[in-house]
Amino acid sequence: MPDTPAIEVSHLVKAYAGVTAVNDISFRVARGEILGFLGPNGAGKSTTMRILTGYLPATSGSVNICGVPVASRPDEVKRHIGYMPENKRVSEYLYFRGRLKEIKRRMLGPRIDEVLELCDLKRVRHKIIGQLSKGYRQRVGIAESILAEPPVIIMDEPTIGLDPHQILIVRDLISSLRGRMTVIISSHILPEIEMTCDRVLIINQGRVVAQGTPADLRREVLGHSTYQVEVAGDTAALPVLLAAIDPTLQISHQGDPDAEGFRRLTLSTENNAELGEPLLRTLAAQPFRLRALSRTNPTLEDVFLAATRRSWDVVATPKRAAK
């Protein structure tokens, strides 16, 4: 059914030898959406992804892929999934994998040509995979994962070990799948996640600690906007002037004056509206010399660090599974 989520995870738990690696995770991924799946080492990302693919059973909870329950129908689920986890030639390997995926022979040749073109692999189609560079091998893995046009693609660290040029190619390739396939990506390269994904889910110690679009997460996790100001003059009266602009606007950090008397101030506010113009107008009307004013946009790395730090405060040590 078109309204059925591509991925639906409900109260998922996985315990190893009494230690809970995944602790009551629930989330949904819509069809055609690209989701970034983040978390520090040991957070439970790889365990969750292995459960999604049907390669690892859950202790409790449920996972459905395109409405199909993973626990009771794992073989059927694998037909809906492309999973990117050597000594054939590229085209031979894709043909072999295509037949395992039950693609009809008359359709397989044209489909291999299509994915080779899409992944920029035509020039190496007759090369042995083991002789290819890391970047090409990653692209072969992506080509294999989308070969049968599955509705769901699961990618674990798709750009690890790649150079900037190769990362750009893979990023564009993943973006080209938007709307056609549902993609869930686990990665530690946060700028890539931010540029590629529609939504982000962050886990720590087996729990979901934040999820939403990057913009939503900035508001939810950080809860403030930041401005950088370089100003010269007596700043003693500045807090009163800032409060007149917005009650939550305040100086969060103040540097020492430089040789020309300018000091860098960091201003923070809970107001997400643009305050640059009233700030400029207020400072220009006072006996200050203003050299610079800019709004600082927090990165996904800032959000990730704040969300995981907040969760460490709540859960100091991994919980033991109930016996």
Token pair listed for 156: 């674990």
What's the domain range around 169? 7-219
Rg (C-alpha) for the chain, rounded Å, is 25
Q: Are residues 167 and 237 in the same domain?
A: no
Predicted TM-score (pTM) of this structure: 0.73
Token pair listed for 67: 């409405």
Cβ-defined contacts of 112-119 (< 8 Å, 24+):
112/147, 115/143, 115/146, 115/147, 116/90, 116/91, 116/143, 118/143, 118/146, 118/173, 118/176, 119/143, 119/173
One digit per residue, the tens of pLDDT, for the chain of length 323 reads: 567 899 999 999 999 888 899 999 999 999 999 999 998 888 899 899 889 988 789 999 999 999 999 999 988 888 888 766 445 789 988 987 888 788 888 999 999 999 999 888 999 999 988 888 888 888 888 898 889 888 999 988 888 777 888 788 888 888 988 998 999 999 888 888 888 999 999 999 899 999 999 888 887 877 778 899 999 988 888 899 999 999 999 998 899 999 999 999 999 888 878 888 999 888 887 788 889 999 887 788 888 888 888 655 544 444 444 43
Q: Are residues 112 and 172 in the same domain?
A: yes
Q: Which of 56, 69, 64 is nearest to 22 (CA)?
A: 56
Q: Are residues 246 and 214 in the same domain?
A: no
Q: Are residues 115 and 56 in the same domain?
A: yes
Q: Are residues 126 and 197 in the same domain?
A: yes
In a domain, residue 93? The reply is: yes
Q: Are residues 203 and 243 in the same domain?
A: no
How many structural domains comprise the chain?
2
Q: Where is the domain boundary, 184, 219, 254?
A: 219
